Structure 1
């Protein structure tokens, strides 16, 4: 994953085309540019992560267990895939308003459930 090695700014369209084994014209048939491709990759990559968090969350019986299970699923995935973790956590915030807005939306939406529900539902009163 070239972006994990050199960051979003250092990744060139030619790097993406080479990794995806597509020509530049094909790339531009699919994406408007590097930012668009990055956001598509982020959406594609994070959806299964949120699904795993939801599944783990639902399997636990109490609020602390649900939060631990959901966050454990997230951290386990990130630990197993450091290049993905760099893209999903670091590079999404490395610049550009569209990426910041995408991350903000994803943080508040966990596979059909808001993260507020994920973290707060059935929580003990504080």
Structure 2
């Protein structure tokens, strides 16, 4: 499962063909690991982290218990892999926004950033649920990873808005926290339309705030 193709996990997890398939051992191991990661994400949507058992993951992934424990030490270890995949997917989407931006896009780069963030969550609701909702049931290590990702998102916002002072950076941290709370609530209830609808009011909130969040020259769309 490549970071850019997790959307494929919305359907049944593809299994290796029976008999001789011509794949190398590394390819087989990678396929098995990807199927387990996707299966756990899907199982948590249905049952939550606490209610997801290793047996349920095996059933969905179509692998043996032996194969699971060759890849992961425990359910918590498997969750860590799912979380890393979800976080990397999100960070890749945000990085793509900056890479494809032209000079004409500069006044609207906050809109592009928030649009990419919200669209990425809406496109991958199972993985969004992993790091926004189920992470809090997975123990202190998982929560620490969530805090680190939240800090990274705040840094991206600060960079986007040209935040230079301590006050502006703190304002960007509060904005990231508010966005996190609002998107978590919508992911928790499956409100994907409401999730995408957050973009415009959030952008307008920043536009109305002068240089509270940073020194970016803003040009609201008509």
On whether the aligned pair clears a TM of 0.5, the verdict is yes
Task: Establish whether residue 41 from structure 1 lines up as the match of residue 82 from structure 2.
Answer: yes
Task: Establish whether residue 76 from structure 1 lines up as the match of residue 119 from structure 2.
Answer: yes
| 8 Å Cα contact 1:54/1:70 also seen in 2 | no
After alignment, is 78-87 or 67-76 more displaced?
Answer: 78-87
Count of paired positions: 119
Where does residue 119 of structure 1 map in the other structure? Answer: 157
Aligned match for 1:30, one of 66, 71, 81: 71
The TM-score with structure 1 as length reference comes to: 0.81
Matches within 5 A, 1:50-61: 50-58=91-99, 59=101, 60-61=105-106
Task: Establish whether residue 66 from structure 1 lines up as the match of residue 104 from structure 2.
Answer: no
Moved over 3 A (4+): none
The TM-score with structure 2 as length reference comes to: 0.49
Q: Greater CA radius of gyration, 1 or 2?
A: 2
Structure 1, unmatched stretches of 5+, are none
Cα RMSD for the two superposed structures: 2.0
Q: Secondary structure at the match of 1:109?
A: helix
